[in-house]
Amino acid sequence: MKKLAFLFYVCLAVTMTAQAQVGKPQPTNPSDAGTHYINPIVRADYPDPDVIRVGTTYYMVSTTMAHFPGATIIKSQDLVNWEYCAQPLKALLDNDKYNLRNGENAYAKGMWASTMKYHNGKFYLLINGNDNRAWLLSTANPEGEWDVKRLSRNYYDPGMLFDGDKVYIACGYCNISMCELDADFNFLREKEIIVRERSGLEGCHVYKIGEYYYIYATYGGFPSGQAAFRSKSPFGPFEEKMLVEKNYDGKINTIHQGALFEDVAGKWWTVMQEDLGALGRFPNLLPVEWEDGWPVVAGGVRPPVSFVDKVPRPASADKSIKCLPTSDTFSEKTLGMQWQWNHNPVPSAWSLTERPDWLRLKTASVTTQLHQAQGMLTQRIFADPDKASTGTIRLDVSSLKEGDRAGICIFQDPYAMICVERTSKKGYQLLWQQEKVRNAGRNFTPAEKAQTIKPKKGIIYLRAAIKYGENKARFFYSLDNKKWEPFGGETPQTFNLTVFVGSRFGIFCYATKQKGGYADFDWFTTE
């Protein structure tokens, strides 16, 4: 039966071949009859969020590190239901690190915390390229083309403010500086305005509200906290107020670093990230009140507990449910915005047209290590507190060459994968492997398991699973998509700063001997 075209932005199940069904895109947040929401508002790795409102639409940008296209922007009408808007950052640098060449890589590098503003009819996105200076992206239409300009210097964790004809950027780590730029974003001057040696102060966002300039910043690390600083001059002096303490009710706080903004009804909110284990840092929406000219977050003592506490929804005329799709039948002309390449893409090494309704991944590099393989396609893993998050693929391996490997992984440090490898003596073999990127911890031991298989007409089904809270990657295979068998071990994962993102699903095809082979992916689904 020919596959039906997959509709990316509506909540519909899609019938597919081989007695399979693409998982239905889920609302980004379970709700209580449209009156309440439960944090996190998006149950996946959207770290270092900045949020702005333009008219009745809210836009949120997050850190995407060395994944491209990057600087993912999602949009919402109610701050609870979100959908994809744009991925404006196509690349940073064309060098060995970002192309996974000569044993180099850019894990934990790339696009760090950014700042987004809307000014005089244009959107501006200032990106902290943590290893290659800052970049300014701008556009009148966020879903269209973005102009890209590389700036003369770096601005660590920048917070940008348009103030009349002036541009200010607060930035720095521990000690915060205020920089003034001209209208063309050329650097003019800088002054150190806040000194907090060895404090971990970072993640600045800057606002002018009433007569005060506010810097909204985090004391990062573990535990973490959120603070506000205010002054009647952008260059200080600034006074400080802690908004979310590092410890409360005898517990360690991990809600921090985000944005402050006003909704359509004049009520104030903040979106901050929460560290939630191997799957990453999830955005939380919290109400804000004002007292004596200071913002007070969620009562100022105890933020609502994720996956548990219900919070009244923000005002919105739009009550429709939106989805962030994960599953894909590869029936469209372009990849959905849930997908990002691990490092720079290789345009010649993939196709959605050479075999219609399939994704073809060609071997783009020769390596024995998955983390150095060009052309891996990844996406965030959405958490479910009650069951494992799974990714399943239907894979045609009949065009692999000797030494080629194609399959699915859960990528973190350490990472683990299940794949089919073509060998000279045994034909096809199923291979499970766990490996590290840089530093997976003292108790980690690389391991692998292999067994000969005979996929009928080259078709095999592979599955990766990880449960929120348990943080163990597990893998399964099937020759008919009916009977599933576990394969390999369990790989414990944590949020590791060596990659600095949450665990991700990855699908791949790479060569260990010579290029020239390829694998075809019929579909990917989360169930």
DSSP state of 34: T
Determine the Cα–Cα distance for residues 146 and 159; give it in Å rounded to an integer: 20
- 411: tokens are 């990528």
pLDDT of residue 130: 80
Closest CA to 324 of 142, 503, 84: 84
242 lies in the same domain as 358? no
pLDDT of residue 249: 78
Do 322 and 84 touch, CB atoms closer than 8 A?
no
224 lies in the same domain as 344? no
354 lies in the same domain as 253? no
Provide the CATH number for the domain around residue 457.
Answer: 2.60.120.200
pLDDT of residue 31: 60
pLDDT of residue 75: 97
226 lies in the same domain as 373? no
Phi and psi (nearest 5°) for 456? -70, 120
pLDDT of residue 27: 65
Residue 25 lies in a domain: no
One-letter amino acid of 318: D
Q: Note down the domain range covering 497.
A: 340-526
Do 336 and 323 touch, CB atoms closer than 8 A?
no
522 lies in the same domain as 405? yes
pLDDT of residue 443: 81
The residue among 234, 260, 286 that closes a domain is: 260
253 lies in the same domain as 391? no
222 lies in the same domain as 360? no
Provide the CATH number for the domain around residue 78.
Answer: 2.115.10.20
Residue 53 lies in a domain: no
pLDDT of residue 5: 34
pLDDT of residue 221: 85
Enclosing H/E stretch for 472: strand 472-478
The residue among 228, 260, 292 that closes a domain is: 260
Do 205 and 50 touch, CB atoms closer than 8 A?
yes
* Number of structural domains found in the chain: 2
349 lies in the same domain as 249? no
93 lies in the same domain as 192? yes
The residue among 260, 284, 314 that closes a domain is: 260
Residue 196 lies in a domain: yes
- Let me know how long the chain is: 527
pLDDT of residue 241: 96
Residue 207 lies in a domain: yes
Residue 70 lies in a domain: yes
Residue 130 lies in a domain: yes
In the chain (527 residues long), the average pLDDT of successive 10-residue segments reads 33 35 60 80 97 97 97 96 96 95 96 96 93 93 97 95 96 97 95 96 97 97 92 98 87 91 96 96 96 87 80 85 93 96 97 98 97 98 96 98 98 98 92 91 88 96 97 98 97 96 98 97 94
pLDDT of residue 22: 57
Determine the Cα–Cα distance for residues 209 and 131; give it in Å rounded to an integer: 33
Closest CA to 401 of 382, 380, 427, 378: 427
Tell me the residue ranges of DSSP E strands in 147-254: 147-150, 159-163, 166-171, 176-181, 187-194, 201-209, 212-219, 225-231, 239-244, 247-248, 251-252
Determine the Cα–Cα distance for residues 258 and 281; give it in Å rounded to an integer: 11
Per-residue 3-state assignment (H helix, E strand, C coil) for 240-270: EEEEECCEECCEECCEEEEEEEECCCCCEEE
> pTM of the predicted model, to two decimals?
0.94
